[in-house]
């Protein structure tokens, strides 16, 4: 059993993981499928926050993304597991063949596949295999909870997490308010490995250089001649921590 990218952080998570492992074994046996279960704590696909789980038939993997299930009950997490088990059953029964094409971002992109011998092209949430999986997700969760005697802990909720937000605009506004020179140029910062540093910016005033104006040529030249000087003028973005979690399953993709 692999826990991909997941280090359990608290008792509620440990209980959820343990119950998922047992429920997964039971559902595999109950429905005659042979899937493996992994856990993660990740944001997939760039800024897409909607991913809570998936089933990949190529290697029979069910992945549960704990990060996007903060604030949800263990029963909800088992429903995600039930949803993915249903997808495994769909493949096992040859209802779904997985020759899939996706277009768009967010929770409800357009998608295509063959379902029970008929081609579907349309919104993800309206895809017949997703409608079918949503119909069974809580049924399977409830079956496992009852069979394994998990009623006592099924309503336990994972604690909310936190996410750190960079206050880029606020930092820049405060900097320019304090430094009123009209010849200041804000520039992309780089770290010691010469990779872009997303945690702040460099700045340089014409008065600190030999240039008469800022243009593409002088900016490019400044990076060559004033980089070490600008490193000392690095301004980090202010940040704030915000509570993260509490998505309902209706807001998530899995």
The pTM score is 0.81
User: Would you state the pLDDT for residue 220?
Assistant: 96
- The confidence score (pLDDT) of residue 44 equals 58
Report whether pLDDT(9) > 80: yes
Packed helices 74-92 and 128-148: angle between N→C axes, nearest 10 degrees: 120
Q: What percent of the chain has pLDDT over 70?
A: 93
pLDDT attached to residue 5: 60
Mean local confidence (pLDDT), 144-168: 95
Tell me the average pLDDT across 114-129: 93
Assign 1 a pLDDT band (cuts: 50, 70, 90): very low
CB 36 within 8 A of CB 30: no
pLDDT at residue 106 is higher than 80: no
Mean pLDDT of 187-214: 95
| Cβ–Cβ < 8 Å for 241, 162 | yes
Alpha helices (runs of H) in the chain, residue ranges in sequence order: 11-31, 74-92, 128-148, 168-178, 216-225, 227-231
**pLDDT score of 122 more than 60:** yes
Q: What is the average pLDDT across 189-217?
A: 95
Q: Is 80 exposed, middle or buried (0-12, 13-18, 19+ CB in 10 A)?
A: buried
List, as own/partner pairs, every contact residues 179-185 make where C-beta atoms lie below 8 angstroms and the sequence separation is at least 24, other chains included.
179/203, 181/205, 181/207, 183/207, 183/214, 185/214, 185/219, 185/222
Cβ contact 72:158 at 8 Å: yes
Residue 12 Cα to chain centre, angstroms: 20
Would you state the structure tokens that stand for residue 208, as one six-digit string?
Answer: 């600190």
Tokens of 73: 């009950």
Mean pLDDT estimate for the chain = 92
**C-alpha distances in Å from residue 177, one per residue of 172, 173, 184:** 9, 6, 12
Confidence (pLDDT) at 214: 97
Is-contact 53 81, C-beta < 8 A?
yes
pLDDT band per the 50, 70, 90 thresholds, residue 47: low
pLDDT at 3: 44
Q: Which residues pair with 87 in a beta bridge?
A: none
| Residue with the two structure tokens 């909800």 | 76
Distance CA 75, CA 66 (A): 13
What does DSSP say about strands 118-123 and 36-40: parallel, antiparallel, or unpaired? Answer: unpaired
pLDDT band at 254 (very low <50, low <70, confident <90, very high): confident
Least reliable range by pLDDT among 175-179, 193-197, 233-237: 193-197
Q: What is the bridge-based pairing of β-strands 36-40 and 238-244?
A: unpaired
Contact predicate 154/145, CB 8 Å: yes
Q: Select the more confidently predicted residue: 35 or 192.
A: 35
- Give the pLDDT mean for 236-254: 92
Predicted confidence at residue 197, as pLDDT, reads 95
């Amino acid at each position: 059993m692999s826990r991909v990218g997941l280090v359990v952080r608290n008792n509620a998570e440990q209980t959820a993981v343990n119950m998922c492992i047992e429920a997964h074994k039971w559902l595999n046996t109950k429905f005659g499928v042979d899937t493996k279960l992994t856990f993660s704590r990740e944001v997939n696909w760039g800024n897409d926050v909607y991913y809570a789980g998936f089933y990949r038939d190529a290697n029979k993997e069910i992945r549960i993304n704990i990060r996007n299930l903060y604030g949800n009950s263990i029963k909800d997490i088992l429903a995600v597991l039930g949803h993915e088990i249903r997808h495994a059953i769909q493949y096992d029964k040859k209802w779904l063949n997985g020759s899939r094409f996706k277009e768009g971002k967010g929770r409800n992109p357009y998608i295509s596949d063959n379902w029970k011998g008929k081609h579907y092209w349309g919104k993800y949430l309206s895809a017949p295999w997703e409608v079918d999986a949503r119909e069974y997700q809580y049924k399977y969760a409830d079956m496992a909870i009852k069979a394994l005697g998990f009623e006592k802990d099924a309503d336990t909720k994972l604690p909310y997490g936190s996410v750190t937000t960079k206050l880029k605009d606020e930092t820049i506004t405060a900097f320019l308010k304090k430094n009123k020179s009209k010849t200041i140029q804000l520039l992309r910062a780089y770290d010691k490995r010469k990779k872009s540093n997303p945690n702040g910016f460099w700045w340089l005033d014409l008065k600190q250089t030999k240039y008469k104006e800022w243009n593409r040529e002088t900016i490019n030249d400044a990076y060559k001649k004033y980089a070490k000087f600008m490193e000392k003028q690095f301004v980090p973005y202010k940040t704030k921590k915000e509570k993260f979690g509490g998505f309902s399953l209706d807001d998530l993709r899995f």
